[in-house]
Amino acid sequence: MTAGSPVVMGGRRMGSESACEVTSLATYNYRVLDRKARVIEGTIEAPSDLMARTRLRQEYASILTLEERQTSEDLRNLGNRRVSDEDLAVAIRQIATMLSAGIPLARALRLIAAGASGSFKDLFTSMSLQVESGVSLSHSMRRHPGAFDDVFIRIVESGEVSGRMDSVLNKLADLQEKSVRLRKKVIANFAYPSVLGVTALATLSVFVFYVLPLMQPIFHSLGVELPLLTRIVLVLANSIRNPWIIGPFFLMLLALTAAGIVVWRTLSRSQEFRYRVHYALLAVPLFGPLVEKSTVARVLFTLSTLLESGVSLGPALAVVEKVAGNEVLSWRMGQARKAMVAGGGVYESLQVSGAFPDMVLQMIRAGEESGNLDTMMRRVSAIYEEEVDLVLSSMATTLEPIILMGMGVVIGFITLASFMPMVKLISEI
């Protein structure tokens, strides 16, 4: 790799700067064209992305690529950085409001950091410093992949290009809040069935570990042969309370679980395996339609947000393809994008790929013909979101009687097994 003269120039200029300023320099890898149209690669040290580009333009005809060099430790820290989706949605909404009020972006980021704590504070402090040094907001977000995905960054880039950052950030906050709402709805709908299940398990545990040990001496003192049902319950209860039996069982279960996790993670690296799993999930009754509807709703809302932010449909499909969350739909979106690149229309490309149900396709066709494709996608997304709510409520309502019935069967079984010896003794008197 050939290092260009800007590296030397950067070294000369830094001679008059303080040691503190030297330590704040970042190293950038660049590919440029010189005055004779030759490609030159090298590195340059500069306090910001903007300063590096300025120096390179002084020496070369054009800049092909310029990327900050990251150390392995930096990459690990960036990858481990996680923030709450709900906190992020609130922060983006606040930044959009401050930009609408005329507050500069760097100051808005500092204000968000001042009111935060922990990793969230570190994230926005880092971003504010980068923006102050001349780095764009989207480029700053790319340095934090654990907090911002491709959709997030692409929407911000569209706002930077169009100059409508406040409007774009409001749409981005809508998208983030929608994801948070859906997750809360799932938790809320399945909270009561989960409580019922835990209650049933607790009741069974009390009976097995406390009630049955008190009744076992009574059974032996009766002097009658215990019924088969009672003997089964006693054997199970004694096995569960015996550490020499339950201990190895739990160790084996733990080993199998660990092996299963390793195997799953290994197989999940294969796109074909993920496709087969997701295809099978879509075929599961009741659960499959829920997954499909929720994925379609999220994809359509994301597409509408990207289109409203100024991103063309082809790149928008490419972004959504990566973050669809379902390999089957992701593959179909990829097929639709390829069909569009080959010259097909929006409706025809999506229809051939089978990316969406017929009702969605007809709505998209109407939106394409009227020139309101983004608005139509948002409306269809709202319809599907309502259907997801109905399916979730239906599943929760269905689970409640099933769990209650299961509780009744288990408790009835144990109660019957406990009183059968007494009934047998009375019948022999």
Per-residue pLDDT of the chain (429 residues; tens, 9 = 90+): 444 433 333 333 333 333 333 335 677 778 888 887 788 888 787 777 788 888 888 888 888 878 776 554 554 454 445 677 788 888 989 998 999 888 999 889 988 888 887 778 888 888 888 888 788 888 888 888 778 877 788 778 877 876 778 888 887 888 788 778 877 877 877 787 788 778 878 877 787 777 777 777 776 776 667 778 878 877 877 787 778 888 888 899 999 999 999 998 888 888 888 889 988 988 888 788 888 888 888 788 878 887 877 778 888 888 777 767 788 888 888 888 888 888 878 888 888 888 788 888 888 888 888 888 888 888 888 888 888 878 777 777 777 788 778 878 877 887 787 777 777 777 766
Are 173 and 89 in contact by the 8 Å Cβ rule? The answer is: yes
171, with CB counted inside 10 A (0-12, 13-18, 19+), is buried
Residues comprising the chain, all counted: 429
Three-class SS of residue 28? strand
Question: HEC states along 331-348?
Answer: HHHHHHHHHHHCCCCHHH
Q: Where are the alpha helices (DSSP H) in 243-353?
A: 243-268, 271-282, 287-308, 313-323, 327-341, 346-353
Tokens of 96: 């959009």
Are 166 and 96 in contact by the 8 Å Cβ rule? The answer is: yes
Closest CA to 144 of 134, 129, 159: 129
> What does the pLDDT read at residue 261?
92
- What is the spatial distance between Cα 172 and Cα 418, in angstroms, rounded to a whole number? 60
> What does the pLDDT read at residue 72?
46
> What does the pLDDT read at residue 252?
93
- Parallel/antiparallel/unpaired status of strands 39-46 and 26-33: antiparallel
pTM: 0.58
Are 368 and 347 in contact by the 8 Å Cβ rule? The answer is: yes
